[in-house]
Amino acid sequence: MGKNEYLPLFETRASRGRLLFKLYVLTIFVAICMILVYRVSYLPVEGAVEIWSWIGMFFAELWFSFYWFITQLVRWNPIYRYTFKDRLSLRYEKDLPGVDIFVCTADPEIEPPNMVINTVLSMMAYDYPPEKLSVYLSDDGGSDLTFYAMLEASRFSKHWLPFCKKLKIQPRSPEAYFRTALEPLDDPNKAKEWLFVKKLYIDMKFQIEATTKLGKVPEEIRKEHKGFREWNFISSRRDHQTILEIRVSSRLSNSPVILNVDCDMYSNNSYSVRDALCFFMDEEKGREIGYLQYPQAFENITKNDIYCNSLNIEMEVDFLGIDGNGGPLYIGSGCFHRREALCGRRYSNENRVDWKEVNDRKVKESAGVLEEVCRILASCTYEANTEWGKEMGLIYGCLVEDVITGLSVQCKGWRSMYFIPERKGFLGLAPTTLLQTLVQHKRWSEGEFQILITRHSPFLLGHKRIPLKLQLSYCIYLLWATSWFAVLYYLVVPPLCLLRGISLFPKLSSPWIQSFAYAIFANRAYGLVEFVWSGGTIQGWWNGQRIWVFKRTTSHLFGFFDAIRKLLGFSTSTFVITAKVAEADVSERYEEEKMEFGVSSPMFNILATLALLNMFSFVGGIKMLIMDVESKVLDLLALQIILCGLLVLINLPIYQGLFFRKDSGRMPTPVTYKSIIVSLLACSVALY
């Protein structure tokens, strides 16, 4: 073994070439200070509307400045991590630990069984000793359709797993692989086997989809496996036996490492387990790692990411910085956990793992005894009056139970780490409609804000337990829901003041305009460079600006007030699953990057009203410019007219949906009428 036994299994490198970023931060900071000085220095002395509008602008800009500062603090010290799987194999190949993999699903209609089994098969096919992998499907929906699909998948796996190992294919989800892979024509034997396995998969897929469409498992199939008897005692989806819990796996495989994934997040990299173990099994730093988070990525993102669902900036920029500040958040899927950390144990410097001893743990009970014990462990009553859901396992009672669980693990002294492999570890499905995207972000922002205003806040729970810079890093997400007021104010007050001829920004002839111009231009320009560097396109960046406005005026608004209502006891948390399938015409418009509306929603009422309000104000501003002979309007109101013009460009898909589109994805007629009436009423009040 020689020198290799003393070499680390992973290394951490700081980001280089940060001079441009630091120069950007310094100059923007100066510009922001000048803007705030201007607001304080030029407060109007006459007119109640003018004074209060100006004060509102000051507080909105103060909020933008604070949030920008937090964001730059997060991004100040990004780090990158690299693994050495060859060293892992040389030192530990015979002592590799067991890994328990949890695939979570809840609804066979929203999360089709065929998608679920593709994820399961991709996990079973990891490049790892098969006897050390245990894959568990946690089905909150208690669906016999999903159970049937798993039964078919278990039969297919007897051919699929050897096929993957023999041809060393990537990815190892059969659906993803056969969608892109070409038949190996250079070898007749391989081609024959390839076609055979593909036909097996197509036949299995057809059977599963046909059964799912039928809505029930045929009686002749139910007789083939005793497991179907469980559904004889189920009265509804909400009244069924728990399929599986982490505590059940502790009695079966009891592996020291746990991976959890969503059912739509198939494995795209067969070496992900080995990469993860390079962290946990590192002799120097491995014992302090509680969990390792992989980035989330999606295979169905359109060329220009119409709904900004790729999360490129979050995954490629923010999380690298959060890792440098003390460790990333746990974000639900694609995360490897140390079992003892997830189950509530506190970190101690004395923690030492003997991987040989860990692997010697054997289950001594008979199959019958195990089955009965696991039924008790999986029951909802088992955890009553225990620490499960409070200090052990996932923390209950929050829409983002993953984030709050990760924070709890960190506060017990464990480190978390973030790893971006060269080949993406997991690929999932992003929402394909605007409403799905907004509802998903509403859930996220509500849950994050719920953490902030309860005892689980990082400033309370994490006080003296995690670094202050990590506590602040959480804030870029925990404060999402509170951003609605500043953004909504900027989208409503300047346009209405424009109609009244009230100036809220410096004159074009004033030197103060330079600070506003630089802050806006430099911030957006740097954001564009950052977005393109992270793999996006220029049009994708513009779509991101649009969705940024949409989320903050709808998702975060509703998320804020729902979190407050829950805090006051007027409602309870409800987890909404994002649909993973779409109608054919919806999918077609998504691929064509046409924004999908189609249904009535309070969120669309707000978006349409704001779009029309800014359009009417922009037209009013242009009319004032045309009628102004002395060019005073241009000097006085130029920035407000430009702001309204930019918002009109951002809202072009809204106008198309309101007035020009004829397909089923257009804006519903009631939304159109309501938004026209409300926006005209607002403009009338501003004018008179």
CA distances from 197 to 130, 157, 174, 203, 341 (A): 20, 10, 9, 10, 40
584: number of Cβ within 10 Å: 7
351 closest CA partner among 455, 280, 432, 418: 280
**In which region does residue 645 sit, left (phi positive, over 0), alpha (psi from -120 to 50) or beta (all else)?**
alpha
Residue whose structure tokens are 């009631």? 670
Alpha-carbon distance of 431 to 551, in angstroms, equals: 14
290: number of Cβ within 10 Å: 24
The two structure tokens encoding residue 252: 């079966």
At residue 580, what is the residue type?
K
422 is in an annotated binding site: no
SS3 of 497-547: the string is: HHHHCCCCCCCCCCCCHHHHHHHHHHHHHHHHHHHHHCCCCHHHHHHHHHH
Which residues, listed in sequence order, are joined to residue 105 by a DSSP beta bridge?
139
Alpha-carbon distance of 96 to 91, in angstroms, equals: 9
Alpha-carbon distance of 661 to 674, in angstroms, equals: 18
CB contact at 8 A, 621 and 498: yes
Alpha-carbon distance of 480 to 71, in angstroms, equals: 12
CA distances from 104 to 107, 113, 142, 226, 332 (A): 10, 12, 12, 23, 10
Tell me the DSSP string of 212-242: HHHTS--HHHHTT-GGGGGGGG--BTTBS--
Alpha-carbon distance of 555 to 442, in angstroms, equals: 4
Whether 402 is catalytic is yes
Q: In 3-state terms, what secondary structure has residue 25?
A: helix
295 closest CA partner among 275, 278, 277, 325: 275
The two structure tokens encoding residue 470: 């990590």
At residue 357, what is the residue type?
E
Dihedrals phi, psi of 566, to nearest 5 degrees: -65, -40
What is the greatest pairwise CA distance in the chain? Answer: 94
Among residues 127, 140, 628, 635, the one annotated as catalytic is: 140
Q: For residue 685, count CB atoms less than 10 angstroms from its CB and return exposed for 0-12, middle for 13-18, buried for 19 or more.
A: exposed
CB contact at 8 A, 441 and 399: no
245 is in an annotated binding site: no
Q: Where are the alpha helices (DSSP H) in 426-512?
A: 434-452, 468-478, 484-500
CA dihedral of 175, 179, 183, 189, whole degrees rounded to 10: 0
Q: Residues, the chain, total?
A: 688
Residue whose structure tokens are 């009428």? 673
Tell me the DSSP string of 565-604: HHHTTS------PPPS---HHHHHHHHTTPPP--S--HHH
Among residues 282, 323, 402, 562, the one annotated as catalytic is: 402
Buried b / exposed e along 618-655 (16+ C-beta atoms within 10 A): bebbeebeeeeeeeebbebbbbbbebbbebbebbebbb
* Dihedral over Cα of 124, 275, 86, 341: its sign: negative
CA atoms within 13 A on the CB side of 278: 25
Q: Which residues are catalytic?
A: 140, 402
Residue list, annotated binding site: 111, 140
Residue list, annotated binding site for UDP-alpha-D-glucose: 111, 140
